[in-house]
Structure formats: structure tokens, C-alpha cells
């Protein structure tokens, strides 16, 4: 592969430690790209707060709206991450940063992602499994959202739905969450939701996702040092340990998000979950994994097709 064809971010995966404290896969850490920090100083303050809260790895996820003129390209995000990493080293802040994006759920998203080649705004480093963080509004679901995610999967990508517990429609109709998980979508629950920062309904729905084994990661969605603060990670971790046990907390805050950041298959989830610590049924474990397997197979088929 020539340097011109090299995908931005490829090779970063090999630099990652196997464990690095908490892994925050949803964090608006880069300055000047969206409604996150407006300066390098603010960005460094957020990074300092994240490191102090025990976070070792952040995937920087600026908003990306497919088709919009001011939409940051993958190479721009990678360049900004590299500059931030240099500044972190100079400032002595022990934090690793990877490029990512939070992609708006526009109609035709699967087709758009497939057309991006090496510029796909994926989540973390280039790896065998291409995860994409899909944004969700707080109010109504986008039209035909289940079909939109299905088409993302058909394109060979694994959708990670950002903060489903904060969407009013999903919180009111949890059967929709079950259906999305069954078709292979992964859920990222916001740390602040578990602590009540987004209201009682988001809190209950976030904990319900964890109890049902449908959450793949807890992340901050941090925008500055106050709103959705990086520091929420540590407090939420303590709550999950207290309520659901350390094994599940390690899965949601470390091992599963690390696999996503590395572009690798998720590790096996702990079998014991929930407030009562009851054993998860085999059926509830298998359904999301079966969906994921279908997506991975579709992706492998796409690779085989493009090689021919």
C-alpha cells in the first residue's frame, strides 16, 4: 500500500497499551471542531481532568454531519489528535488520544460511510472491526432509525449508538432498545446519566441497559470541564462497581471500550449482571452477539468483493 493510500490512523492500534485505565470512547476533546473546547488550553484542561479521573485513553469524537460543508474530514481529525498528543506529552499529562467521530444519523448513512474509503469517520484506530459512533437526539428518534442502523451494518460497519438512554422515545419504549440490540447495534451509555445528570428517566434507562446486558461501554460525552465532565467517569465507575460488581464495571469502562478503540471484537461480557446480581439468560447474551457476527460477516464479504 502506498503512502497515499494509507488510511489515516492506521498503525495507531499497535501503539496502544493492553490496559490503560478507563477508556472513554465518546469525548469532544479536540479544540475548534465542534461545540467542544474552543482552545488548546481548554482542551488540555479537559485532558487533565480526564487523567485525574483515571482515564488513560480517550477517543476524540467531534461531531460529523455527512454532506455538510464544515464537516471535519478524518485526516483533519488525525492531524488534530497528533498535535494534541504532542501537547499532552509536553505538559506531562498521562493520556493517550485516538481519532474518532460522532456521526449524525442522516438518511443513507450506510451508503455514505461505504463511499468514504480510507476517510471513514470511524471510532478509534483502524482494526478488523470498523465501529462507528452514531449520534442520537434527545427527543424523537430519527425517521426509520432501525433501518438506518441496519444499512450501516450492511455496509460492513458496527454501529455504536451514542447515549440511547437520553433519547425520550427509546426511554419510553424499551422494546425498541431490545430490537436495536437484536439487530447488532451496540449501546454507549453516558456516565452522567448513571449519576442522574440527565434526569430520572435517562438514569433509569441507562441502568436498565446495563442490567439487561445491552451496554457495551460507559463514556462521558464530555464537552468541557463542567458539562458532561470528564471527571464523571470515576464516580460512575464506583456506582457500577457498587451496584453491579467489579467485573461488569471493568468490562464497561475498560475492556469493551478498549476493544472498540482498537477496532477489535468485543470480549465476552461477564455473565453476572444487575442490581440483584442475577445470572443473565443465554438468550439475552446471544442476541446482540449474533447480530454482531452478521455485521462482521458482511464486512468480510465486502472485503472479499473489493479484493476481486
Looking at residue 195, the DSSP 8-state letter turns out to be T
- Beta carbons of 261 and 253 less than 8 angstroms apart: no
Site for Fe ion contains 221 (CB under 5 A): yes
Which is closer to Fe ion, CB of 163 or CB of 287?
A: 163
Quote the least distance from Cβ 135 to Fe ion, whole Å.
Answer: 6
Q: Which stretch binds Fe ion (CB under 5 A): 41-49, 83-91, 97-105, 298-306?
A: 97-105
Q: At what angle are helices 174-182 and 200-211 packed, to 10 degrees?
A: 40
Closest CB to Fe ion among residues 123, 295: 123
Q: Closest approach of Cβ 24 to Fe ion, in Å?
A: 11
CB of 60 to Fe ion, least distance (A): 11
In contact, 236 and 192? CB cutoff 8 Å: yes
- 211 or 221: whose CB is closer to Fe ion? 221
Minimum CB distance to Fe ion smaller for 134 or for 296: 134
Nearer to Fe ion, 165 or 221 (CB): 221
Please state the closest distance from residue 106 (CB atom) to Fe ion, in A. 16
Q: CA-CA distance, 78 to 9, in Å (whole number)?
A: 6
Shortest Å distance, C-beta 28 to Fe ion: 6
Element at 189 (helix H, strand E): strand 186-190
Rg (CA), the chain: 18
User: For residue 130, which of 259, 2, 223 has the smallest C-alpha distance?
Assistant: 259
Contact with Fe ion (CB under 5 A): which of 24, 34, 102, 211?
102
User: How many residues lie near Fe ion (CB under 5 A)?
Assistant: 2
Nearest residue by C-beta to Fe ion? 221
> Interface with Fe ion includes 34 (CB under 5 A)?
no
Q: Cβ 284 to Fe ion, closest distance in Å?
A: 27
The Cα–Cα gap between 163 and 179 comes to 16
Q: Which is nearer to Fe ion, 24 or 102 (CB)?
A: 102
Q: What angle do CA 14, 15, 18 make, to 5 degrees?
A: 80
The three-state secondary structure class of 273 is strand
- Angle (CA) 103 262 308, round 5°: 80
Output the DSSP codes for 162-187: E-GGG-HHHHH-HHHHHHHHHTT-EE
Q: Which is nearer to Fe ion, 96 or 188 (CB)?
A: 188
Query: How many Cα neighbours within 13 Å face the side chain of 12?
Result: 25
Considering the complex, what minimum distance in angstroms separates the CB of residue 220 from Fe ion? 9
Residues in contact with Fe ion by CB under 5 A are 102, 221
Amino acid at each position: 500500500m502506498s503512502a497515499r493510500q494509507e488510511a489515516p490512523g492506521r498503525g495507531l492500534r499497535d501503539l496502544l497499551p493492553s490496559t490503560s485505565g478507563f477508556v472513554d470512547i465518546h469525548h469532544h476533546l479536540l479544540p475548534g471542531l465542534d461545540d467542544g473546547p474552543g482552545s488548546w488550553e481548554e482542551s488540555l484542561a479537559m485532558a487533565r481532568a480526564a487523567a485525574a479521573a483515571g482515564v488513560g485513553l480517550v477517543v476524540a469524537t467531534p461531531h460529523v454531519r455527512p454532506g455538510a460543508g464544515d464537516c471535519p474530514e478524518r485526516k483533519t481529525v488525525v492531524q488534530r489528535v497528533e498535535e494534541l498528543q504532542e501537547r499532552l506529552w509536553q505538559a506531562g499529562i498521562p493520556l493517550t488520544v485516538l481519532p474518532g467521530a460522532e456521526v449524525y444519523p442522516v438518511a443513507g448513512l450506510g451508503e455514505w460511510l461505504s463511499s468514504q474509503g480510507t476517510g471513514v469517520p470511524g471510532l478509534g484506530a483502524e482494526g478488523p472491526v470498523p465501529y462507528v459512533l452514531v449520534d442520537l437526539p434527545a427527543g424523537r428518534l430519527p425517521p426509520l432509525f432501525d433501518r438506518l442502523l441496519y444499512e450501516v451494518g450492511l455496509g460492513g460497519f458496527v454501529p455504536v449508538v451514542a447515549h440511547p438512554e437520553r433519547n425520550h422515545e427509546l426511554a419510553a419504549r424499551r422494546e425498541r432498545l431490545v430490537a436495536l440490540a437484536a439487530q447488532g447495534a451496540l449501546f454507549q451509555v453516558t456516565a452522567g446519566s448513571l449519576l442522574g445528570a440527565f434526569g430520572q428517566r435517562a438514569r433509569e434507562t441507562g441502568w436498565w441497559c446495563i442490567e439487561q446486558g445491552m451496554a457495551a461501554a460507559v463514556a462521558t460525552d464530555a464537552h468541557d470541564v463542567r458539562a458532561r465532565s470528564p471527571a464523571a467517569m470515576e464516580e460512575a465507575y464506583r456506582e457500577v462497581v457498587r451496584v453491579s460488581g467489579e467485573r461488569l464495571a471493568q468490562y464497561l469502562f475498560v475492556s469493551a471500550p478498549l476493544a472498540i478503540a482498537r477496532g477489535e471484537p468485543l470480549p465476552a461480557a461477564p455473565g453476572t449482571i444487575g442490581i440483584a446480581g442475577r445470572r443473565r439468560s443465554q438468550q439475552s447474551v446471544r442476541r446482540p452477539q449474533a447480530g454482531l457476527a452478521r455485521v462482521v460477516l458482511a464486512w468480510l464479504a465486502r472485503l472479499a468483493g473489493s479484493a476481486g
